[in-house]
Structure 1
Amino acid sequence: MRAGRRAVTATGTGCAGPTGWDDPGRRLPGAPRRDLCVPAGGDRRASARGVGAWHGGPPRARPTGPLPRGQPSGPDPHRGAGHRTRRVDDRRRLRRAHRGGRPRPAVRRADGRPRRAALLLPGQGRGAAAGHRAPASVVVEPGHPPAAGLPRGVRHPGVDRRGGPDHRRQRPAGQSLTPVRQTSPVPDFRCSLASLTDDEPIVGTAPTDPEILLVECPGPWGRDAVADNRLPESVREHLAALDLKVFLLRRYDGSAGPGTRVFRASATDDGYAVRGTVLDRPEDLLDLDLDDPTALPAYDGPLWLVCTNGKRDRCCAELGRPIAGLLAQEWPEGTWETTHLGGHRFSGTLLALPSGLALGRLDTASALAACEAVARGEVPPGVTRGRAGRSGEEQVRELHVLGGGDPRDDVVAVPGPVRRQSCGDDKVKGTTHYDVRRAR
């Protein structure tokens, strides 16, 4: 019999064993059950009773013709001569894999070996086909594995199944089809690095808000942290309507203690007067009298507020969180991550209370020493932006006098260059720096 043609055999009753169809009673271990032996193109009932017996006639010859693509021409050694395993059409699985869909589970070959499922590389929804090797005409791009090392069934993007160019996707090899939203024309731009490279002055850039409200709010924060957080909606609306600068607080390790911590800070001649309390529920903030700063008990401990809101600016998270973790080891009760302090380009930044000193361009090598100096009542040089709660001119004048300058010298605000203020967007605006002019 020529290979590639079906054998013409008479279909009898019973299950084919090692002795063929003439011995329906014998079945060796590992041989298929009688009711699971399904001839190609047949069904279970026809298999058990015989194709001819089921239709009421004599046994009929099995059909002849070319085998399906990929099916071996020989008989199944486990099921007897002339009996072939019914299989799922593999071409349907190939089409599903080429369309980018998830391939079906692997089926077994006629000889009992498992078939290999389609292999897909990341970003290559159409780039894999089970049972096909990578085309020899694939040109390996830099950064991709060589063609000889590709898994079976994997081809590079931009190449069709026959090895030619794939005109359906006019794109460089390796580039994802999914559009990537970029908020910046330069994805790797870092505002803090650009500011440091340009030697932008940081003196006089501390927050100027005289009244500050600090509310504990564990969990993630959005870009507009006061409006996008896990506090109840009524509390969020209440905070947005206050005539105060609101900062949210959370612990470095994400833990939340009993109740909700609330601090109220008011600017004084030498810093801030800090008062605080613990609320049973966040909703109790609605009944808190915030118009009277003295309504809360005084708080005499240090507070280190490190800006870490990465949704607002990536530099704050990348530089601020390691600093917060370092300070939390020294002051576990007084260290907090906080929302937007202003001045992303001076990250890592923190606000120290009750001194009111705002520090910038900190890192893990300098943060601890700078905070220890602040705790001793000193002003660390080089990293101090100013004392918050005052205007920029007053901040510069204080640092000028502390550095040995003449108190009679004038401080003049001078418009600076237009530059990007944040990594979070590509908006630009003018800057301001301060010149000290000697008094005549």
Structure 2
Amino acid sequence: MTATDRFFCAEAARVRGDALTGTAPRGTAWVLIEYRRAWPTNGFDGIDLDPETKAHVWAAAHALRARILLVRRCARPRPEAPARWAVLHHETSGAYRQRWGTWTRDADLLEIADALRTPGGLDHPPVVLVCVHGQHDICCAVRGRPVARALSEHWPNLVWECTHVGGDRFAANVVVLPDGVYYGDLDADSATHVVEEHLAGRIHARHLRGYTDLAPAQQAAVTALLARYGPAGRHDYAVTGTSREGDVWRIRVELHAPRPTAFDIEVHAHRTPPHRLTCRGPQPSTSVAYEARTIRPV
């Protein structure tokens, strides 16, 4: 295969028109570990770390279903500066909690287990992650790095490059934490606009993959409301009811501002034809797409 006919999953997904909606993986807790050496294909699992420390951190994260991501700054840090770690929580109340620490030796990372069990502070700014994990999927590096550079120029203290966040074919992917909001199909210009709007409390349907505290059909319902009625804050909409009959979901969503309003949204799920969904995966596979068919104010 030559450079001109090489397969790129993100390009193929755009040609097919793959839907972003409802593709944010579930999760409300994350562990970030700054790791300045090369990132292996399998991220945290593959780094050179004391086995007992690694097992302890993994077990603590697994108990809370927390995702572990390796991170680094786009700009090269000072050699003498210690690496950082963080535990981020998105609580059901909507509160965002963070606890940060530093590490210079493997054993310092044992603090992560304690941080996962205790609430963090509420006074931290959000974290903006850009997946650039080229060892996992080349599209993440090719499309993610220009986005990371552009965002770092605007928000150098908020933005980190990170390992695989899921959805290679939607690169460039940006995740805002602990908000738990996934964006995809971004370039440098669109990412700058999306993050600027997000930080101002305005989430748009365009480029939105979903909210990580919601199931895929629920994500599709909220995205449909944002598409019809315009951008809204992260917690302006709340899912208050969900039922399912086969491939049809009925989602009730309430709008808290500017005045209380409820909507019933019918979301249809269907399995797509098999396609190559990642650059590294040669075998075609299917995915489930979610489409909001009707929106009815209650």
Which interval holds the TM-score relative to the shorter structure? 0.7 to 0.9
Equivalence for 1:339: 163
**1 CA distance for matches of 2:5 and 2:53?**
36
2:74 equivalent to 1:252: yes
**2 CA distance for matches of 1:439 and 1:400?**
8
Q: Which has the higher strand share?
A: 2
Query: With structure 1 as the length reference, what TM-score do the two structures score?
Result: 0.54
Equivalence for 2:117: 292
Higher relative contact order (CA 8 A, sep 6+): 2
**2 CA distance for matches of 1:376 and 1:412?**
32
SS in 2 for 1:275: strand
How many Å apart are 1:276 and its aligned residue? Answer: 2.0
Superimposed CA distance per residue, residues 284-334 of structure 1 (whole angstroms, 9 cap, x where no aligned partner) = 22144144241x334521211000010000000011011111111111111
Q: Which has the higher helix share?
A: 2
Q: Is the 8 A contact 1:265 1:272 kept in 2?
A: no
Superimposed CA distance per residue, residues 118-169 of structure 1 (whole angstroms, 9 cap, x where no aligned partner) = xxxxxxxxxxxxxxxxxxxxxxxxxxxxxxxxxxxxxxxxxxxxxxxxxxxx
| Code of the aligned partner of 2:176 | A
Q: Is the 8 A contact 2:103 2:109 kept in 1?
A: no
Equivalence for 2:206: 382
**2 CA distance for matches of 1:299 and 1:220?**
32
SS in 2 for 1:361: coil
How many Å apart are 1:230 and its aligned residue? Answer: 4.2
**1 CA distance for matches of 2:10 and 2:95?**
27
**2 CA distance for matches of 1:293 and 1:400?**
36
**2 CA distance for matches of 1:203 and 1:255?**
36
| Code of the aligned partner of 1:277 | W
How many Å apart are 1:427 and its aligned residue? Answer: 3.0
Q: Is the 8 A contact 1:265 1:275 kept in 2?
A: yes
Superimposed CA distance per residue, residues 217-243 of structure 1 (whole angstroms, 9 cap, x where no aligned partner) = 112111101122244444333333331
How many Å apart are 1:399 and its aligned residue? Answer: 1.4
2:158 equivalent to 1:348: no
Report the RMSD for the aligned CA atoms in angstroms: 2.5
Per the alignment, do residues 324 and 388 of structure 1 end up closer, same or farther by CA in structure 2, a change over 3 Å counting?
same
2:149 equivalent to 1:325: yes
Among residues 227, 233, 250, which one is paired with 2:45 in the alignment?
Answer: 227
How many Å apart are 1:384 and its aligned residue? Answer: 0.9
| Code of the aligned partner of 1:216 | E
Unmatched tracts of structure 2, length 5 or more: 230-261
| Code of the aligned partner of 1:426 | P
Corresponding pairs, count: 256
Among residues 281, 287, 293, which one is paired with 1:425 in the alignment?
Answer: 281
Equivalence for 2:135: 311
2:38 equivalent to 1:213: no
Q: Is the 8 A contact 1:217 1:231 kept in 2?
A: no
SS in 2 for 1:408: strand
**1 CA distance for matches of 2:100 and 2:31?**
12
Q: Is the 8 A contact 1:261 1:278 kept in 2?
A: yes
Per the alignment, do residues 342 and 299 of structure 1 end up closer, same or farther by CA in structure 2, a change over 3 Å counting?
farther
Per the alignment, do residues 351 and 234 of structure 1 end up closer, same or farther by CA in structure 2, a change over 3 Å counting?
same
Per the alignment, do residues 299 and 188 of structure 1 end up closer, same or farther by CA in structure 2, a change over 3 Å counting?
farther
Per the alignment, do residues 293 and 205 of structure 1 end up closer, same or farther by CA in structure 2, a change over 3 Å counting?
farther
Larger radius of gyration: 1
Superimposed CA distance per residue, residues 383-436 of structure 1 (whole angstroms, 9 cap, x where no aligned partner) = 111112321111111112223377212223221222222112313321111122
Query: With structure 2 as the length reference, what TM-score do the two structures score?
Result: 0.78
| Code of the aligned partner of 1:203 | T
Among residues 263, 269, 275, which one is paired with 2:86 in the alignment?
Answer: 263
Counting only pairs closer than 5 Å after superposition, residues 95-114 of structure 1 correspond to structure 2 as: none
SS in 2 for 1:351: strand
Q: Is the 8 A contact 2:39 2:133 kept in 1?
A: yes
Give runs of ≥4 in structure 1 deviating > 4 Å.
Answer: 269-272
Q: Is the 8 A contact 1:271 1:357 kept in 2?
A: no
2:180 equivalent to 1:362: no
SS in 2 for 1:377: coil
Among residues 413, 423, 428, which one is paired with 2:269 in the alignment?
Answer: 413
Q: Is the 8 A contact 2:27 2:213 kept in 1?
A: yes
**1 CA distance for matches of 2:291 and 2:198?**
26
Per the alignment, do residues 354 and 267 of structure 1 end up closer, same or farther by CA in structure 2, a change over 3 Å counting?
closer
How many Å apart are 1:187 and its aligned residue? Answer: 6.4
> Share of identical aligned residues, percent?
27
**2 CA distance for matches of 1:232 and 1:329?**
35
